[in-house]
Structure 1
Amino acid sequence: MDWKAAIETNRQALKRVLVTLVAMAGITGNADRTATLPRHLHRAVLRLLRPAEAAARRLIIVAAHGLVVTPPPARPRKPGANPAVPAPRSFGIAAVMPSAGFARLPAGRAAKGRATRTHVLPLFDPVRLPERARRRFVPAHAAPRICVPGATARHRLPPPPAPHDLLDATRLGLRLRALAAALDDLPKHARRFARWRARQSRSIAHNGPRRLSPLKPGRPPGYRLRPTHEIHGILADLHHFAREALTPPDTS
């Protein structure tokens, strides 16, 4: 099989889909500006972006086929005290916590990197754990109203979501830019994946925790049995190529 031809053909096809998504979303070059989109348009872009991201992940796997890299040696953990950072008094109390814990707080994250907002295309499909129970969710417009006649006023529920409600599209723009960056510099992301496979092999040798495959079991995200857009056919082809690239060679 001509892997180079398959990679370039599908890369150009994904770039055509990306141009369509960018035109639908109306993304500009200003990444710091908070963009909004109508709900129906936001959902339409997201329905095509999910399979496009899944196809790009599989294209990276195919591009990394046969690529061998040497991972850096594992860094041993350094035992020692974790420096403490005083938490802001905006929390209401004076507290002291480790710097790692402070960075996970909203105030710490904002202080750490408010100016730069970047996003990198993930190399792995999101996997839903079967043992995790799905949380029951009741939309605000359908929540039960409990009141005492003559004693409490009847609570007015918000209206149901409308197709033209404006939604924040900042993260949607970041995901589109991450997809564009992956398609523009495919060898870089192929090396990312090759380094992960090398670290995975080293972890298996030491019986460490590991993820066995970057692909989720079953159908890929955004897959459709009856394709309605070009991206669905691209995803089906690249899923087949990625599984072939991940299959170890027959040495018998």
Structure 2
Amino acid sequence: MQFTPALLLDLLAWNWPRVKKLAWWARQLVKDPAAEMVARHVHNEVLRILRPAESMVRRMLLILALKAPISPVPPANAGASGQLSPKANSPVLSAKAGTEAGAANPNRASQFLLTEPLTIRLPSDATPFVKFGPRIFVFGSGMEWQPLPGEAPLPPLPAAPLLARLSRLDAVLAEPDAHAARLARLIARLRGAREAGRLTRLSPIRPRSLMPGRASRPLGELTRSAITYVCWGADAALEGAWDSG
């Protein structure tokens, strides 16, 4: 598909409301936001919706960030001349160092994560396989789950990290342009590091086929198609689609 600037704008207009619906859906599964713990099956079901929603948002932020030309800037630990400081002799910029600003940011933990890890976590052979009993899905109310007879129920998980993750997503959806500007600054820093001779990641997101949550089970075919379309749009933006018009 040949993406044009007009088509990229349409993509954003169509899909911000879709992500907002996913975020709303994930919140509805947490029936008591004031609870300190959440049932494990609810926690897992929320993540199955939250991961693809976050990934979709990152790609749309990338499309927004690339809308205006981005000039490379010197990396954060470069001197006034743009040369790397003696402390920055490592030839590889780690993914962790490239996720946010080069300098320490006390608010980093409260901000939406703009990058995706380069590595993929595969299930460990040591992880025990857990069997679940029959589950009935009711839209907006989560999964009614019961352990199999004789099976000990899984312990609940802390709700605070999950709720904080939902809040960070809500903050992006409320003010996407500000977060797109953050991402543009990150891309500029990565380009500046490459200009200075350092090896960095080429993109803040994974390739389309490795997108987190892309094959999430609760998603309908229409949402999966929208995710694929957003992935294509992000790839096109990286390849210069904004300049094609």
CA contact (8 A) 1:222 1:232 kept: no
CA contact (8 A) 1:50 1:222 kept: yes
Contact 1:223–1:232 under 8 Å retained in 2:
yes
How many angstroms apart in 2 are the aligned matches of 1:35 and 1:236?
A: 36
Aligned-residue CA RMSD (Å)? 3.5
> 18, 22, 28: which one pairs with 1:23?
28
Does 1:184 find its partner at 2:174? yes
Asked if 2 retains the 8 angstrom alpha-carbon contact of 1:57 and 1:124, the reply is: yes
Deviations 1:69-101 (A, max 9, x none): 56776454699xxxxxxxxxxxxxxxxxxxxxx
Alignment of 1:230-245 (within 5 A): 231-245=223-237
Aligned counterpart, 1:86 = none
Contact 2:56 2:227 in 1 (8 A): yes
In structure 1, C-alpha distance between the alignment counterparts of 2:60 and 2:69, rounded to whole Å: 17
Aligned length: 192
Q: Distance in 1 between matches of 2:32 and 2:122?
A: 36
Describe the superposition over 1:120-156 as per-residue Cα deviations: whole angstroms up to 9, x where unpaired.
Answer: 2211122216xx99865355x9xxxxxxxxxxxxxxx
Counting aligned pairs with the same residue, the percent is 27
Matches within 5 A, 1:166-245: 166-217=156-207, 218-224=209-215, 228-229=219-220, 231-245=223-237
Q: Displacement, 1:117?
A: 10
Task: Tell me which structure has the larger Cα radius of gyration.
Answer: 1
**Residues 138, 245 of structure 1: CA spacing in aligned structure 2 closer, same or farther, 3 A cutoff?**
closer
Give the TM-score of the pair, scaled to structure 1.
0.63
Aligned partner (choices 8, 11, 19) of residue 6 of structure 1: 11
Gaps of 5+ in 1: 80-112, 142-158
5 Å-filtered alignment, 1:89-238, equals 118-128=109-119, 137-139=126-128, 162=153, 165-217=155-207, 218-224=209-215, 228-229=219-220, 231-238=223-230
